[in-house]
Amino acid sequence: MPIKVPSDLPARAILERENIFVMDEHRAMNQDIRPLKIGILNLMPLKEDTELQLLRSLSNTPLQLDITFITVSSHESKNTAQSHINKFYEPFSAVQGQRFDGLIITGAPVEQMEFEEVDYWQELVEIMDWSQGHVTSTFFICWGAQAALYHFYGLQKSLLPQKLFGLYPHQVLERKEPLVRGFDDVFYMPHSRHTTVTADLIRTCRDIRILAESEEAGVFAAMADEGRKIFVFGHPEYDRLTLEKEYLRDKNKGLDIQIPKNYFPDDDSSKRPLLTWRAHANTLYTNWINYYVYQLTPYVW
């Protein structure tokens, strides 16, 4: 898929080395089509890593995507250079007059805080409310999904006894739903979180349908409003080494962190992890773009 991003975005060079088609502004303007406008509200601390992961995940459809990275103004990132954010991101105030075909709201490492204690919570609420009338389909990831369930439906997250960390098997519950079309009966996905919204609690809300879940990890994917809201509670966009980096980071800090489950061969952290979730992750994002964005969005907003 041609992804339209700024020519000097650092992730672009890496994607091109992987033979992922990244289109510049000049070539995009010469194509007589309307690209899909996709906003990415990136709340993760290592923004450049997340940019690369999401762009790679979105690269498996023939549709042209025009990507806009969005940031909140009520929080100052401590792990990404402000110069990078100033150059490649738009504050929400600059895009709120626009309409987007799709919006991704990422997770954030604030899950052990109460939602209202997060410094950008009110701005995030404003963005989620804005998306109702300005976005065809919004894809909420991990803490972003928990935040959306809390804001829209009043469903509260709960603290897990220990961090859910590793690769977990999941089962598809509604095979006819296009979001999980092409999935195997059992598929593995990464999780890295301290909190959850239980399946029993989600099932109390008639507006939400659970599409895939795990006995160990709980709900993986759910949706509401006929796909206008997609909730994904794991991290399908993670790269091969993301969990390893998190594990080593916490271990070097002296934190009580268990080895990621089902991740290292033979649970030996000296062995290179196998990438066993990429195909399903690509299918998930492609299905979202195709069935819930492209086929539903108007040609002219």
Active site residue 123: no
Active site residue 142: yes
Q: Which of 48, 123, 134, 142 is catalytic?
A: 142
Rg of the chain taking only CA atoms, in angstroms: 18
- Please name the residue that has the structure tokens 């196998």: 274
Q: Which of 123, 177, 213, 237 is catalytic?
A: 237
CB 163 within 8 A of CB 189: no
Phi, psi for residue 160 in degrees, rounded to 5: -80, 155
Which residue from 37, 39, 88 is spatially nearest to 64, judged by alpha carbons? Answer: 37
Cα separation, 188 vs 285, in Å, equals 15
Active site residue 244: no
Q: Which of 134, 170, 191, 235 is catalytic?
A: 235
List the Cα angle 12/39/110 in 5-degree steps: 95
Cα separation, 191 vs 243, in Å, equals 9
Active site residues: 142, 235, 237
